[in-house]
Each structure stands twice: as structure tokens, then as C-alpha cells.
Amino acid sequence: MDFLMAQDIAAMPTAIGVIVTIGVPVLIAMSVGAVMFAVFTPAELAASSVIGSVKFSFVVEVYAVVAALTLVGAWDIYTTSRDTLQKESGALYMLAHAVDTYNGADQADSRQAMREAIRDYAEAVVTYDWPRLRQGVGVGSGGSDAAFTRLSRIFFDTEPVTQAQQALAQNTVQWVAQVAEARIDRLSVGTRTISLLIWALIMTVSVSVLVFQWFIGSGGLGVHYSMGAVIAIIVGGVLLVSLKLAFPFVGDDPLLSPRPFVLLMDIR
């Protein structure tokens, strides 16, 4: 599995993703089972159960470690992206509340410009940055760049007059810097991904688990096929959750949405 294939699967609607990530492992498991029972007799499989159990246990332990590593890495990507969005939108929210502090009669134009800058930036994130994040492509230059530059210039250039405005000015600088830092983290989300080697490893050990389980004999074909299907569903479920967490922005129903920025577009 390469990076683009993993991203494409994560971008699928949840129902189709379930069919691909769980249905394919079940199909592989059932196909391997049919081949194994066609090649070996139940007596031959039962005779090799002891050796097969030892080897299968080793494969399962390796799979457990790799699956845990993948899930932890994917969860870290998701939580980092979520916290970045909260940081960026939270700083914008605080800037929006700070606008009312500039309540001088001669500061009406500045207040209006500040609110417009926040709305324009939020709109740029929603209309330009987010579609590219959902497609899994680089945002590149442009888009929200100009809107952020205007936002920072307006808040930096507005001269504080009253003591309250002067006291708030330092926090305003910090909030703008927080938006900038979170924005960079959000735009560089493509660099925080699970290594291709990890995806290749999880696929290899997953297939190994699906294959090695059939070298252990059982009381009947129905029981063997049922256990094989359950194992395949577990393997597919781990893969699906890992993919969704590792690519939280992509697809028609991503885990993370631009709703906070949509709400900021309505600031008046």
C-alpha cells in the first residue's frame, strides 16, 4: 500500500471504506481457506496444529505490535490536527471579542476593518484551504495568505488609545501569532503522516495473519470459516480506523470539519 492508495481509501465514504477494508480481508481469508481445504485434508491440518499454533502465535504478536504502532501514530496525527484547528479558531474568536475594546468614536472604521479581516480570513480558509485539505493536496501559496496578511496588519497597525486597549494590545499580538503558528501547522498536515514502511508492514502482517490461521486444524469447516471471518473483520477494522485517523481532513465525511471557521464568517 503506497501513500496515495492509503489516502484514497481514507477519502472514501464510510460505507464504501468498510466494504473495501473489511470486505477485502474477509474475501482473502475465505479464498485462502478454500484453497487450503482443497490442497490439504482436515487430518493433515490437524496434524500440523501444534506447529501451526506456535507460528501463528508469533505472527499474531508481531501483528499486535504493528497494529498498536499504527493506531497510536494515526491517533497522534488526528489529535494534533484537531488541537491545531482549535488553537487557530480559538485565537480568531478571542480577536473577534477584542474588537469591541476599540470603542472610540473615531475608531469605528478600525472596528469594521477588524471584523471584515476576521470574516475574510475565515472565508478564505473555508473556500480555498479546506477543499484542498479534503482532496489531500498541498494548499500552496495564495488562498488564505493574503487574508492572513491583511488580518495581521490591521490588528498590528491599529493604535491603542485607552488604557484598556493598551493592556489588550499585548494579548492581541499573541493571538495573531497563535493564528499564524496554528495556520502553518494546519497547512503542513501532509508532512505529518505515517511512513510508507509502516503501511507496508501493517499490510504484510495482516495478510500473514489471514493466511497462517488456516494452518491450524479445527473441529469442522463451519467453525474454521467463522473464525477466519472474525479475524478478517478485526484486521479490516484496525486498518479502517487507522486510515481514517491518519487522514482526518480527506473525503466527503472527514473527521475534522471547518465548522468553527464557518461560524466566524458570521461575525458582525
- 25-34, 76-85, 93-102, 186-195, range with the lowest pLDDT: 186-195
Q: pLDDT per residue over 43-89, tens digit each?
A: 777 777 777 777 788 888 989 999 999 999 999 999 999 999 999 99
Mean pLDDT of 21-37: 86
Q: pLDDT per residue over 189-244, tens digit each?
A: 766 677 777 888 888 888 888 887 777 765 567 777 888 888 889 999 999 999 99
Mean pLDDT of 178-185: 91
CB 60 within 8 A of CB 209: yes
Domain ranges for the chain = 3-264
| Per-position b or e across 246-263, b if 16+ CB within 10 A of its CB | bbbbbbeebebebebbee
Task: Give the model's pLDDT for residue 49.
Answer: 72
Give the closest residue to 129 by CA, choosing from 52, 72, 182: 182
Task: Give the model's pLDDT for residue 178.
Answer: 94
